[in-house]
């Protein structure tokens, strides 16, 4: 896929250091069909639509903030039962995680496996989001500290989320921004 064929909107994502569940997150958790309807409506808009950009950036900010505070219920809003999470190849090859986790419960298992190795101190920062219409790319840094050795490091981190009806049905994780961008036909 060449870069000319991909319409992409690229913007930084500003995260709040201290966050908590918003009213709409509480509503979507109580009434999941409402969240699904909202996502389907936003998904019909083109990537350059200002309304779509505002909705996608806000949703992504809320998802990342929920992950950072380990609120996995809020982090998984809108995730369908057939959702698939593909961890970074390096983690799979090292035998630290499985090649694929399915459904919200599978994602919870992945986060538990990740936390076992790296502890609860990791979070995402300096986040940039790229919307190509059918996929969302998240680029970030992930400062972490190894649970056993205590060795700190900062890893580049990226995900490519494939959307269907506005919902992420497949997420691929990368520890290389260029590799994630290449996966969607873009370059840095």
CB 77 within 8 A of CB 35: yes
User: Nearest 5 degrees, angle CA 158-CA 127-CA 100?
Assistant: 25
- pTM value > 0.85: yes
Residue 6 lies in a domain: no
Q: Is residue 3 part of a domain?
A: no
Counted domains in the chain: 1
Residue 120 lies in a domain: yes
Tens-binned pLDDT, residue by residue, of the chain (188 aa) = 444 466 788 988 888 888 899 999 999 999 998 988 888 899 899 888 999 999 999 999 999 999 888 899 999 998 999 999 999 999 899 998 999 999 999 999 999 988 877 766 557 878 899 999 999 999 998 876 666 666 666 678 999 999 998 899 999 999 999 999 999 998 87
Work out the number of other CB atoms within 10 angstroms of the CB of residue 84: 17
Determine contact, residues 103/122, Cβ cutoff 8 Å.
no
CATH no. for residue 134? 3.10.450.50
Q: Is residue 4 in a domain? A: no
Query: 1 in a domain, yes or no?
Result: no
Domain boundaries, position 103: 19-183
């Amino acid at each position: 896929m060449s870069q000319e064929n991909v319409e992409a909107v690229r913007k930084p994502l500003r995260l709040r250091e201290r966050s908590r569940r918003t009213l709409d997150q509480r509503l979507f958790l109580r009434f999941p069909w409402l969240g699904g309807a909202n996502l389907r409506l936003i998904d019909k808009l083109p990537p350059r639509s200002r309304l779509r950009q505002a909705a996608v950036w806000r949703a992504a900010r809320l998802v990342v903030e929920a992950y950072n505070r380990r609120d996995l219920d809020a982090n998984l809003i809108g995730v369908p039962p057939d959702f698939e999470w593909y961890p970074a190849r390096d983690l799979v090859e090292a035998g630290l995680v499985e090649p694929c986790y399915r459904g919200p419960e599978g994602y919870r298992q992945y986060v538990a496996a990740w936390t076992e190795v790296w502890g609860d101190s990791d979070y995402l920062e300096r986040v940039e989001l790229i919307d190509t219409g059918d996929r969302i790319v998240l680029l970030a840094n992930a400062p972490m500290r190894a649970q056993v050795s205590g060795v700190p490091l900062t890893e580049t981190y990226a995900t490519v989320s494939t959307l269907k009806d506005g919902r992420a049905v497949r997420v691929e994780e990368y520890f290389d921004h260029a590799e994630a961008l290449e996966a969607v036909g873009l370059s840095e």
